[in-house]
């Protein structure tokens, strides 16, 4: 079989063809607009993205695809009319923070424990639940459609699947990112829905991550899964402790747990890794940085460099050891701090600071934030080494070497970086009794220096930007 894997990410829609002979190629790529109507608001045009997915399906079919799978960007969500399938507003992107006050009020009222115990998640505007409640409260016609039984609420994948296949469904891994699903049962939780004010009747059915998921543009949909879990599957993880890190718009680490979610409190996020058709749930720990490559894009827009090809691998003494720190909390701090008020910032600027120094500090800040997340993972059990690393920033060898040095972990770098698409393709193929494999050279990057002491210095900088964001300075 020839599999088309569509990776619908925060910034673009890409499609990759995987053939029976083991070859693969990207056959489609198209960016979509990033909309920022107000400070803290991040939106996408749902119709624009659906058009891009349809175009990818047509290109893939013409190139010989027989089945396809769809990866999605996770917590982004919207509301739409069940009859017309017309969105009531834009997609509210996972980076959006308009519901910060709502989440703070729920925390103040003592509801954080319920959300953590049932959904495994923090009370944060990052997740979908408060965004979906905002849609119901603020979008024109939402209440009227609810009363008429025509309102649909869901993550972006549920909308795409509804429009493309005619089936109003989401997969269990994506549903686990909403704060509305019971992590243990894999079903919508009535108490969580009531807490956030999201009618359960408006939510999609929850499916496995692969199997018979409908038809679109003449192709059978055989898999659907959130992007980070897809990347974990694409790294070929098999046992508890196997870990991957993806450096995209944000940076996200997942470590496989097995068939049981972790017991006790954790600042990392227990989440569903996947559930293949007819099998049991598999769980993972998740931790994310909200701005990774997006911090580099921002630095480029500031004029600190022109092209990513201009970024040489950092050499010599780390810039933090020379007194310059950057904390990449441009959209708040995620795991393990969960501080939406935190601001980004450079600390230690002097008259002789060069643009390339500031860019190196961005690289180091992202790596140090990831080191914090991996430290949190290891509070709950050892993580295996080497760690699989993929994504755009992983192409910078100096960045990866600093990450290895600051974590003390070996990294596995592959010449094939498209792990999200590979995971989507593997799940689709396995639903039909096959599998997908890509042969590509790999490099094991081992620690060359002990930079773990820099974490304490970075912690000081992080606390300072948190104080600034909270107004405590």
What is the 3-class SS of the chain, one letter each residue? CCEEEEEECCCEEEEEEECCCCCEEEEEEEECCCECCCCCCCEECHHHHHHHHHHHHHHHHHCCCCEEEEEECCCCEEEEECCCCCECCCEECCCCCCCHHHHHHHHHCCCHHHHHHHHCCCCCCCCHHHHHHHHHHHCCCHHHHHHCCCEEEEEHHHHHHHHHHCCCEEEHHHHCCCCCEECCCCEECHHHHHHHCCCHHHCCEEECCECCCCEECCEEEEEEEEHHHHHHHHCCCCCCCCEEEEECCCEEEEEEEECCCCCCCCCCEEEEEECCCCCCCEEEEEEEECCCHHHHHHHHHCCCCCCHHHCCCCCCCCCHHHCCEEECCECEECCCCCECCCCCEEECCCCCCCHHHHHHHHHHHHHHHHHHHHHHHHCCCCCCCCEEEEEHHHHCHHHHHHHHHHHCCCEEEECCCCHHHHHHHHHHHHHCCCCCCCCCCEEEECCCCCCCCHHHHHHHHHHHHHHHHHCCC
240 vs 279: CA distance, rounded Å: 17
pLDDT at 249: 87
Residue 326 has pLDDT above 70, yes or no: yes
pLDDT at 315: 65
Report yes or no: 261 and 120 within 8 Å, Cβ to Cβ.
Answer: yes
pLDDT at 102: 96
131 vs 191: CA distance, rounded Å: 17
Report yes or no: 18 and 3 within 8 Å, Cβ to Cβ.
Answer: yes
Q: Considering only CA atoms, which of 368, 350, 370 is closest in space to residue 459?
A: 368
Mean pLDDT (whole number) for 351-366: 94
pLDDT at 472: 62
pLDDT digits (tens, 9 = 90+) for 116-145: 999 999 899 999 999 999 999 999 999 999
Total-model pTM: 0.89
Confidence of residue 264 (pLDDT cuts 50, 70, 90): low
Confidence of residue 331 (pLDDT cuts 50, 70, 90): confident
67 vs 217: CA distance, rounded Å: 11
Residue 267 has pLDDT above 90, yes or no: no
Mean pLDDT (whole number) for 248-255: 91
First to last CA, the chain: 61
391 vs 248: CA distance, rounded Å: 5
Q: Considering only CA atoms, which of 167, 140, 35, 21 is closest in space to residue 79?
A: 140
pLDDT averaged over every residue in the chain: 93
Residue 441 has pLDDT above 90, yes or no: no
Locate 88 and state its tokens: 């009531």
Residue 314 has pLDDT above 70, yes or no: no
pLDDT digits (tens, 9 = 90+) for 52-102: 999 999 999 999 999 999 999 999 999 999 999 999 999 999 999 999 999
Question: Buried b vs exposed e over 416-441: b needs ≥16 C-beta within 10 Å?
Answer: ebbbbbbbbbbbbbbbbeeebebeee
CA distances from 175 to 82, 179, 202 (A): 19, 8, 14
What is the dihedral sign for C-alpha 281, 282, 287, 292?
negative
Residue 263 has pLDDT above 90, yes or no: no
Better-predicted residue by pLDDT, 174 or 238: 174
């Amino acid at each position: 079989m020839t599999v088309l894997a569509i990776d619908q990410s925060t910034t673009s829609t890409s499609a990759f063809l995987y053939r029976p002979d083991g070859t693969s190629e990207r056959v489609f790529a198209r960016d979509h607009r990033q909309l920022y109507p107000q400070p803290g608001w991040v939106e996408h045009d749902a119709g624009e993205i659906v058009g891009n997915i349809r175009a990818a399906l047509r290109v893939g079919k013409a190139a010989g695809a027989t089945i396809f799978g769809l990866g999605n960007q996770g917590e982004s969500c919207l509301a739409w009319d069940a009859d017309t399938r017309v969105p009531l507003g834009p997609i509210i992107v996972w980076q959006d923070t308009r519901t910060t006050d709502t989440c703070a009020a729920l925390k103040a009222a003592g509801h954080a424990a319920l959300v953590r115990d049932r959904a495994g998640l923090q009370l944060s505007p990052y997740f979908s639940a408060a965004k979906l409640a905002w849609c119901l409260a603020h979008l024109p016609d939402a209440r009227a459609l609810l009363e008429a039984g025509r309102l649909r609420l869901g993550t972006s994948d549920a909308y795409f699947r509804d429009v493309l296949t005619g089936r109003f469904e989401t997969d269990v891994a994506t549903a686990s990112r909403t704060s509305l699903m019971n992590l243990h049962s894999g079903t919508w939780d009535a108490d969580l829905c009531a807490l956030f004010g999201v009618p359960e009747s408006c939510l999609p059915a929850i499916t496995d991550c692969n199997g018979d998921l409908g038809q679109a543009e003449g192709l059978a949909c055989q898999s659907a899964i959130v992007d980070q879990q897809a990347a974990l599957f694409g790294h070929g993880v098999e046992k508890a402790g196997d870990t991957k890190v993806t450096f995209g718009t944000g940076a996200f680490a997942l470590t496989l747990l097995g068939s049981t979610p972790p017991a006790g409190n954790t600042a990392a996020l227990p989440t569903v890794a996947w559930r293949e058709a007819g099998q049991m749930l598999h769980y993972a720990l998740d931790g994310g940085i909200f701005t990774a490559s997006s911090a580099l894009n921002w630095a480029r827009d500031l004029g600190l460099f022109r092209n990513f090809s201009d970024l040489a691998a950092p050499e010599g003494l780390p810039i933090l050891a020379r007194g310059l720190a950057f904390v990449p909390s441009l959209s708040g701090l995620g795991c393990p701090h969960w501080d939406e008020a935190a601001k980004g910032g450079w600390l230690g600027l002097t008259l002789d600071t060069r643009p390339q120094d500031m860019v190196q500090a961005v690289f180091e800040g992202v790596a140090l934030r990831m080191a914090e997340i991996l430290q949190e993972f290891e509070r709950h059990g050892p993580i295996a080494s080497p760690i699989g690393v993929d994504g755009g920033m992983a192409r910078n060898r100096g960045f990866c070497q600093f990450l290895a040095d600051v974590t003390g972990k070996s990294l596995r770098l592959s010449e094939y970086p498209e792990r999200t698409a590979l995971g989507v393709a593997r799940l689709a193929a396995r639903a039909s009794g096959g599998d997908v494999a890509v042969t590509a050279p790999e490099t094991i990057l081992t620690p060359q220096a002990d930079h773990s002491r820099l974490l304490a210095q970075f912690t000081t900088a992080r606390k300072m930007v948190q104080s600034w964001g909270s107004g405590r300075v």
